[in-house]
């Protein structure tokens, strides 16, 4: 049966209990497109405003009058929405169930406790001079304190920049320099399965690599108990600071368009860009999508397995669920520790009803065999979600039939760091499911497919996926580089937001993501720019040039494949040895290490010097017969030479 042939209609029980039925979806979607001002004015009441807004949407993607503003004259505080407003009715409700790396290490944190933790953290930041508009960098494990710190920033109007704990010291240093952060919040270490990762040590190293030396204070959480070198005048322990401040802190009234956070993400060129999100529109969109996409209800136990270092952690671990007053599981560890039943065991232990994870985790657990799943019960599950990469039909069926016992709708959600929240997705109870498809647009989202000439494709077809109109959760800029913002997203196809993904639309209007159209590779859901990996490889003194491509990988989705040209006379063996991999680990992080490195005498280039990655991809996949015409290459014979070397290396 082809993937397209299998369709799972909305089950009876789902459509009768979910927030949105098929008919409601159609009506609300039409309203959201035809009268966006009316629709969003109403939906924005999902959060509390200090001063209500009068204007709703003020946006244009055209160069002449480019602007993206939502609810611009309204004021609010994001932290107060996520914490304070739940206190009158729900102070004892659990906000977070923290499941530590070691089974049995569980903490329950109520909304009232969350409030005091966040206030205390905010006061510590204030004590160290953090003010509205300052940038605070977090380099943290997946522990409650990471969330307290994010919310504390939001409370006092500081802008957080969370850097994923898997990034190297150099990558952290680059991000610190870019945003000019004065404060870093970190922990002594992180625990990921059997490994302990020395975060504070990496921060120390990063500070020796920064060019601008803006960081004045490093606040360290005691977590693993690992000893840390504490530098006088610079380093403080959080628990000592926390003792000296109150656990009440008034929140700042913020404009809807005041920045909430920066999150660095890879682009196809240059250094990572600081994606900037603001307050009112972002929170409205995160809360609304969380409610409808996961069909969240008051008594659900919700678990999104993402790390707060990524956008999924921001929108669907922290802001969306907290704005809705949800109870969430947060998990420090990895899916395979102590064994591959961990996810399913945690679902049983905490009676998780909504579970949101990544295809790479699903495929990796699928490869370990069904027993790990079937030894658990999972009867609490109601909705399953997926994000970050295509969920292939085989993994979809395993997730649906085995994990979800053929009773839970799967929401395969497509979105990006830049979009702030989910744009394409099924809604449980409102749409039939097609394995491998991300279904239809969320309210207010107008996707289109463009052909090579930039013309809209009508009906079924394949093309560049763009969005025609703004939505409240959209990024507002590249931090301190507005030109790059416009150039990257709105210049390729005039008047549209360009996602850089390709997609197919079937005759029923369902979308199928076909993958990135730029030089970004998605390895286990980590977005990696080939340019960054190449720059790291080229740092090696023996390397002259390199080209990195992505090839399909059964578990990671894609894997990196590097072609490396050495300088004359370089010692081949020395480079092949772990050297290069270590270099990439040091410059970016372990997750960016190529699966294969092949040393080649040259690269296929056009006469103008452009590397033909399409040809490299065919060679890496052993599909040399599909390469086609090579006459435009400056040195066509190189193709055969590289093919032989790749064959010999496999």
User: Smaller CB distance to ligand PRX: residue 157 or 390?
Assistant: 390
> With contact defined as beta carbons under 8 Å apart, do 464 and 502 qualify?
yes
CA distance 439 to 443: 13
Count of C-beta atoms within a 10 Å radius of residue 126? 16
Least distance from ligand PRX to the Cβ atom of residue 62, Å: 24
- Could you list the beta-strand ranges (E) of 102-201: 106-110, 135-139, 159-162, 183-187, 190-192, 195-197
Count of C-beta atoms within a 10 Å radius of residue 131? 12
CA distance 278 to 263: 12
**Of residues 511-570, those binding ligand PRX (CB under 6 A):** 513, 516, 522, 527
Q: How many residues bind ligand PRX (CB under 6 A)?
A: 20
Q: Which residue has the tokens 């959760």?
A: 473
Near ligand PRX by CB under 6 A: residue from 140, 159, 438, 559: 438
Candidates 21-29, 66-74, 213-221, 410-418; binding stretch for ligand PRX (CB under 6 A):
410-418
CA distance 617 to 620: 5
Least distance from ligand PRX to the Cβ atom of residue 189, Å: 25
Least distance from ligand PRX to the Cβ atom of residue 529, Å: 11
Least distance from ligand PRX to the Cβ atom of residue 557, Å: 9
Candidates 234-242, 345-353, 383-391, 605-613; binding stretch for ligand PRX (CB under 6 A):
383-391
Candidates 143-151, 218-226, 254-262, 385-393; binding stretch for ligand PRX (CB under 6 A):
385-393
User: Smaller CB distance to ligand PRX: residue 462 or 624?
Assistant: 462
The verdict on 592 binding ligand PRX (CB under 6 A) reads no
Near ligand PRX by CB under 6 A: residue from 282, 285, 415, 563: 415
Give me the 310-339 binding string for ligand PRX, x by CB under 6 A, dash otherwise. Answer: -xx---------------------------
> With contact defined as beta carbons under 8 Å apart, do 24 and 430 qualify?
yes
Nearest to 575 by CA among 603, 544, 547: 544
The verdict on 282 binding ligand PRX (CB under 6 A) reads no
Count of C-beta atoms within a 10 Å radius of residue 92? 10
The verdict on 388 binding ligand PRX (CB under 6 A) reads yes
Near ligand PRX by CB under 6 A: residue from 84, 145, 178, 389: 389
DSSP category for residue 464: E
Candidates 146-154, 284-292, 384-392, 529-537; binding stretch for ligand PRX (CB under 6 A):
384-392
What is the C-alpha radius of gyration for the chain, rounded to an integer number of angstroms?
Answer: 24
The verdict on 71 binding ligand PRX (CB under 6 A) reads no
Give me the 262-281 binding string for ligand PRX, x by CB under 6 A, dash otherwise. Answer: ---x----------------
Whether residue 152 is preceded by a cis peptide bond, meaning omega within 30 degrees of 0, is no
Q: Which residue has the tokens 């395993």?
A: 398
Least distance from ligand PRX to the Cβ atom of residue 438, Å: 5
The verdict on 444 binding ligand PRX (CB under 6 A) reads no
DSSP category for residue 592: G
User: Smaller CB distance to ligand PRX: residue 70 or 415?
Assistant: 415
The verdict on 355 binding ligand PRX (CB under 6 A) reads no
Strands 273-278 and 424-425 turn out to be unpaired
The verdict on 416 binding ligand PRX (CB under 6 A) reads yes
Near ligand PRX by CB under 6 A: residue from 177, 235, 412, 469: 412
Strands 159-162 and 511-516 turn out to be unpaired
Least distance from ligand PRX to the Cβ atom of residue 286, Å: 12
Per-residue CA distances from 422 to 280, 291, 516 (Å): 16, 11, 17
The verdict on 183 binding ligand PRX (CB under 6 A) reads no
Q: Residue 326, SS3?
A: coil
The verdict on 303 binding ligand PRX (CB under 6 A) reads no
Least distance from ligand PRX to the Cβ atom of residue 311, Å: 5
Chain position whose Cβ is nearest to ligand PRX: 417
531: Cβ–Cβ under 8 A, 6 or more apart, which residues?
A: 268, 269, 270, 519
Nearest to 98 by CA among 166, 191, 165: 191
Cα dihedral 542→547→549→555 (10° resolution): 0
- Summarize as ranges the residues that interact with ligand PRX (CB under 6 A): 265, 311-312, 387-390, 412-417, 438, 499, 501, 513, 516, 522, 527
């Amino acid at each position: 049966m082809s993937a397209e042939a299998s369709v799972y209609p909305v089950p009876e029980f789902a459509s009768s209990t979910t927030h949105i039925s098929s008919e409601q979806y159609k009506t609300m979607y039409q309203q959201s497109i035809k009268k966006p001002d009316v629709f969003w004015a109403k939906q924005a009441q999902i959060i509390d405003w200090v001063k209500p807004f009068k204007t709703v949407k003020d946006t244009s993607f055209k160069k002449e009058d480019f602007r993206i503003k939502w609810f611009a004259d309204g004021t609010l505080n994001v932290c107060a929405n996520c914490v304070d407003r739940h206190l009158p009715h729900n102070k004892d409700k659990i906000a977070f169930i923290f499941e530590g790396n070691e089974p049995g290490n569980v903490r329950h944190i109520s909304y009232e406790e969350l409030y005091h933790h966040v206030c205390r953290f905010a006061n510590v930041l204030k004590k160290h001079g953090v003010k509205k508009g300052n940038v605070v960098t977090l380099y943290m494990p997946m522990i409650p304190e990471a969330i307290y710190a994010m919310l504390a920033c939001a409370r006092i109007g500081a802008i957080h920049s969370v850097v994923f704990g898997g990034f190297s010291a150099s990558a952290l240093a680059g991000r610190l320099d870019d945003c000019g952060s004065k404060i870093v919040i970190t922990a002594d270490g992180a625990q990921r399965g059997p490994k302990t990762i020395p975060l504070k040590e990496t921060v120390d190293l990063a500070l020796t690599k920064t060019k601008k030396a803006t960081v004045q204070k490093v606040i360290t959480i005691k977590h693993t108990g690992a000893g840390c070198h504490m530098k006088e005048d610079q380093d403080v322990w959080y628990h000592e600071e926390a003792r000296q401040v109150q656990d009440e802190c008034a929140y700042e009234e913020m404009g809807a368009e005041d920045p909430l956070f920066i999150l660095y993400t890879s682009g196809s060129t240059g250094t990572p860009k600081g994606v900037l999100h603001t307050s009112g529109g972002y929170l409205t969109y995160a809360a609304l999508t969380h409610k409808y996409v996961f069909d969240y209800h008051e008594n659900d136990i919700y678990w999104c397995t993402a790390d707060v270092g990524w956008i999924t952690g921001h929108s669907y671990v922290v802001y969306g669920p907290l704005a809705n007053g949800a109870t969430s599981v947060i998990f420090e560890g990895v899916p395979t520790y102590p064994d591959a039943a961990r996810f399913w065991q945690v679902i049983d232990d905490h009676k998780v009803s909504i579970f949101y994870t990544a295809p790479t985790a699903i495929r990796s657990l699928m490869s370990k065999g069904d027993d790990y799943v079937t030894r658990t019960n999972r009867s609490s599950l109601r909705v399953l979600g997926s994000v970050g990469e295509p969920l292939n039909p085989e993994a979809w069926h395993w997730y649906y039939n085995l994990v979800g016992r053929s009773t839970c709708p799967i929401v395969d959600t497509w979105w990006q760091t830049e979009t702030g929240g989910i744009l394409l997705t099924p809604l449980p109870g409102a749409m039939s499911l097609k394995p491998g498809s991300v279904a239809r647009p969320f309210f207010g989202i107008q996707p289109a497919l463009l052909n090579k000439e930039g013309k809209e494709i009508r009906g079924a077809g394949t093309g560049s996926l763009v969005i025609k109109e703004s939505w409240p959760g959209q990024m507002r800029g590249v931090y301190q580089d507005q030109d790059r913002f416009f150039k990257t997203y709105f210049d390729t196809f005039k008047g549209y937001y360009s996602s850089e993904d390709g997609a197919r639309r079937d005759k029923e209007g369902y979308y199928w993501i076909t993958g990135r159209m730029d030089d970004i590779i998605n390895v286990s859901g980590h977005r990696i720019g080939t340019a960054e990996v190449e720059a790291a490889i080229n740092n090696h003194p023996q390397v002259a040039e390199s080209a990195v491509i992505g090839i399909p990988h059964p578990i990671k989705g894609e894997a990196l494949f590097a072609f490396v040209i050495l300088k004359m006379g370089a010692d081949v063996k020395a480079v092949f040895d772990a050297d290069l991999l270590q270099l990439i680990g040091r410059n970016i992080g372990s997750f960016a290490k190529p699966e294969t490195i092949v040393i080649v005498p040259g690269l296929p280039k056009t006469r103008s010097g452009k590397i033909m990655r399409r040809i490299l991809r065919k060679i890496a996949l052993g599909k040399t017969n599909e390469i086609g015409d090579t006459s435009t290459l400056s040195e066509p014979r190189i193709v055969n030479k590289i093919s032989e070397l790749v064959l010999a290396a496999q």
